[in-house]
Structure formats: C-alpha cells, structure tokens
Amino acid sequence: MANFPEQKGSRARRLTAVLAALSSVSALSLAAIVAEPVAMHATNGPGSTARAANAAPPRSAAEPGDFADIVARVKPAVISVRVEIDGAQQQVATQNEDGAPDPDDGQGPIMGEGSGFFISADGYAVTNNHVVDHAKSLEVVTNDGRSYGAKVVGTDPKTDLALIKVDGRDFPNVRFADQRPRVGNWVIAIGNPYGLGGTVTAGIVSAEGRDIGAGPYDDFIQIDAPINRGNSGGPAFDVNGNVIGVNTAIFSPSGGSVGIGFDIPADTAKAVIAELKDNGHVTRGWLGIKEQQITADIAEGLGLKEAKGALVDEADPAGPAGKAGIRSGDVITAVDGTTINEPRELAQKVGAMAPGSSVTVSILRNGEPKDLALRLAMMPEERPAPVEAANDGSATPGSEQDLGLLLAPASKVAGPGEKGMVVVAIDPKGAAAEHGLEAGDIILDVGGKAISNAKDFRRDLASLRKEGRVAALLRIQSNGATRFVALPLGHA
C-alpha cells in the first residue's frame, strides 16, 4: 500500500513508499499488532443506564442494520495474493521506517502478500500492479484456504492495475459497479492486511476525484474504511455487493491506517482490465506535448481572465500536436468540445481515447481562440530524462541582482547549448528562487520573445512593465524539459 506524505516536497524523503505486496508477516509484526494497547470503553458502571435510555434514533432505509449478509455473499471472491520477488530488484521496496534499506533484505527472494478478487468463474482476478511487479512466482489463496498457482496476464503501471489468471472453474466472483458512489455512501473493504486474510472493514466514501500525485491519471475515490499494508489490490464494495473501487494507497505518517485510503474507481478499473485481458497491455491516445498547471501568476502573465486550461510547455515537432501547429505558450482549453480546466483533465481525456482518433483541440494563442484538427498517436514508452547539462562556471555573466539572478549566455557556458540565458547563480531569498528558478535553469524567452543576452532580458522586462503587466512569463528549460514560470515584475 503506497503511503503519501503531508507535504508534496517530502514525498520521497520523509515517508517512503510502502508496497502492500511486500508486507510479509513476521513474528515481530504480529507481536506488534497483538501487543499494541487498546483503549477500552466501559459498558457498565455510572452513566451506562443513561446511555441506554438515550437510544439512537431508528435507522434510515439507506443504512443497513449490519453488513453480514453482504459480506457472506462477496467474501468468497476475495483472495490473498502471495508473491515471490527477486530481492535484488525490489530492495527499495523493503526499507526501514527511516527510508534506509533493511540490511536483512536483498539477500535472496522476498515473500510478499497483497489482495485481489475474482471477476470471472474461470479464474481471472484483479489486483494492483505493485503487488505483482517483478514477481518470480504467484500463489493465490482463496477464502476457504485452498491454494492455486497464478500467472500475470497483463499490467498497467500508470493506473497500478494488474490482471492475473488462475487455472480452474466455478470460482466465486464479483462484478464492478455501474455507477460511481456518492460521497457519504457506505463502503466495505475486504482483503489481506498484514497477512490476516479475509479481514472486513467498513466506512464511508469520504471524497472523490482525488489527485495524490501518483500519476497523470489520478482520479481516486477516498474512503475511511480502514485499509492497511496487504490490502492493496483488494475490493471495496457498496451495500449491493458491487465493487466500487480497488484499494491501492493510503495516506499515513505511520504506515498504518489513519482513516484515509484511496481506491481506483470501478469505471477506470473495468476499462483497463478489459484491455489487459484482450491485449496484455493498455494503449492510450497521445498528443505529444508537455504541459503544466496555470497558476494565477501565470494567467496574469498570459493575459488570461481565469487560471484554467493546460499550458503547453513544449510540443514534440514529430507528434500529433506539433504537426497540427500547437506550440509552446498555447493554452489548451477544450478537446472535442469538452472543457479542459487543468492538465490532469487533458491527460485523462486524451488517454481514454484510442490511438488514431480524430479530435479537435481548442487553444488560446496570445488571447485569441483557435481550433486545430489532429489525429492522436499511440503513447510511446516513457524515456528516461536526459542528464542535466554541466556548468563549468567559465562564463562572464550579466547581472540581474534585483531579481536575485546571475545570468550568462548559454552559448558561453559548457553544456546547455546555444539558445537562451543560463542561471549561473541565484539568491535563495530572491524573487526568482521564490518562484522556482534554480541554478542551471535556462531562460529561453521572456513574454514570448527569445533572449540570448542580458540586454534582451532587461529590455523585455521593461517592455512588459510599460504594458502594465504585473508578471513576466518566462519559458525555462530544466533537466531536458521546459516549463513556464511567472516572475512578478514588482520585484524589479
């Protein structure tokens, strides 16, 4: 079960990712569960009569008396997934609480455990990708204690879903819900937390549409039914016994449940699993751009009335968007008439479309609306980011001290290339640092105009001030990617 920290910047350092599939139950962990103090609430003594007299009001029709009948019906379809993983490949996933590798791990195979559930009588079952990732072998244990070998049919790391297959027939199975739950609806989670198979917990749907920074397709259902390490891949049910989501992550400073869990929605899981069954992998539509969120500062820099849309950082000239004429600085506002308010909506909309689909992309360019027709391509495999260009410090920089920057032409600094101005030094308390610029960044243009020296930089800032702009929109290249930064002009 992946853990997510309180602050975005400390995601990798303060709270390490904990995969539920690797929560092997040792004597120590079991002892910790049993020995943990439990607060007991008296059921007799002073005050008990008063509480009995003040009985709870009758239950509403929407609230079941208990979940026993539902659990009895669906629990046989829930399975424990046991995996043997190469310790050399998964050492990072078996870290101590402080993030350091466990010295007892990485010496051989690791036995991990997760959860899953049958979706067909002939043995197809759903679990998380991180449960079976790098697995050398899989074993499925059913609710009645029977064990079966299993194989991976297909995985989708972008949504953290996997489809596995057990040979056999007449397996009890469950179905995905046809509609998303409402916030406040009851939810029942069943799984294998800490190796304690067949564990049932209940709660409500706490929120929907959660973006937890796991990837571009984040659209999680938040639940407060307790889920812990080992619950990964298990189902969350509604009161009709339909699967509303697949348990995949928790928000926790401690590694245990604090009542904040995240589920992959049933409609997402249903579509992904169907494609995994047919093809073993998922294909997605691809525009060929890098985009970013539009903040209030960036909206001001672009002259937009609202901070909505997806700002194009760069467009691959060989990709669909680049061929259609979309370029850096454009704001994508809609796809086939569907409004795009943020980059995540763009990724989800385009990713859900088949490669080869013809679409109309609506953009704003210099405040003017424009519609461009294009045909989506297939999303290529992710490529590793290029190594950041080195700076040998040999340049004679031009000074922009008011902004906390020391700049040098890229052509005079080893590594970056010929275009733009390199940030060779930065005041950590200055305006530029406050807005995300770092030493080594390359400023390619200011307000849409390319720069090659400090004179250009100063001239363009002055021009923007004369126009009454309160922020200058800088296009920055960093680590092989480009982005926009809105730098307030009031600091100069």
Return the H-helix or E-strand segment holding 51. Answer: helix 48-53
Q: Are 246 and 273 in contact (CB under 8 A)?
A: no
Q: According to CATH, where is 2.40.10.10 located in the chain?
A: 186-271
Min mean pLDDT across 182-196, 364-378, 384-398 is at 384-398
Min mean pLDDT across 9-13, 57-61, 342-346, 428-432 is at 9-13
Where is pLDDT greater, at 146 or 471? 146
> CA-CA distance, 178 to 270, in Å (whole number)?
10
Summarised one tens digit per residue, pLDDT across range 23-60 is 333 322 322 222 333 333 333 333 333 333 344 445 44
**What is the structure's pLDDT at 51?**
37
For the beta carbon of residue 390, count every other beta carbon within 10 angstroms: 11
Q: According to CATH, where is 2.30.42.10 located in the chain?
A: 285-378, 398-491
Residue 78 has pLDDT above 50, yes or no: yes
Provide the CATH topology of domain 285-378. Answer: Pdz3 Domain (2.30.42)
* Catalytic residue status for 160: yes
**What is the structure's pLDDT at 9?**
41
Summarised one tens digit per residue, pLDDT across range 309-325 is 999 999 989 899 999 99
Q: Of all residues in the chain, what percent carry a pLDDT higher than 70?
A: 75
Rounded mean pLDDT, 301-308: 90
Provide the CATH topology of domain 398-491. Answer: Pdz3 Domain (2.30.42)
Summarised one tens digit per residue, pLDDT across range 266-300 is 999 999 999 999 989 888 899 999 999 999 999 98
**What is the structure's pLDDT at 266?**
96
Summarised one tens digit per residue, pLDDT across range 89-136 is 444 333 333 333 344 444 556 678 899 999 999 999 999 999 998 888
pLDDT band at 254 (very low <50, low <70, confident <90, very high): confident
Q: Where are the beta strands (DSSP E) in 142-274?
A: 147-156, 161-166, 186-191, 199-210, 220-223, 235-237, 243-250, 261-265
Residue 466 has pLDDT above 70, yes or no: yes
Provide the CATH topology of domain 186-271. Answer: Thrombin, subunit H (2.40.10)
Q: Which listed residue (232, 252, 257, 362) is catalytic?
A: 232
Residue 401 has pLDDT above 70, yes or no: no
Where is pLDDT greater, at 44 or 422? 422
* Catalytic residue status for 130: yes
Q: Which listed residue (115, 130, 252, 313) is catalytic?
A: 130
**Whole-number average pLDDT of the chain:** 78
Q: CB neighbours of 194 closer than 8 A, spacing ≥ 6?
A: 23, 25, 29, 30, 33, 228, 229, 230
pTM of the model: 0.63
pLDDT band at 415 (very low <50, low <70, confident <90, very high): low
In the block, which residue shows the tokens 């500062």? Answer: 297
For the beta carbon of residue 136, count every other beta carbon within 10 angstroms: 11
**What is the structure's pLDDT at 87?**
56
Q: Which listed residue (105, 156, 160, 263) is catalytic?
A: 160
pLDDT band at 221 (very low <50, low <70, confident <90, very high): very high
Summarised one tens digit per residue, pLDDT across range 362-377 is 999 988 999 999 999 8
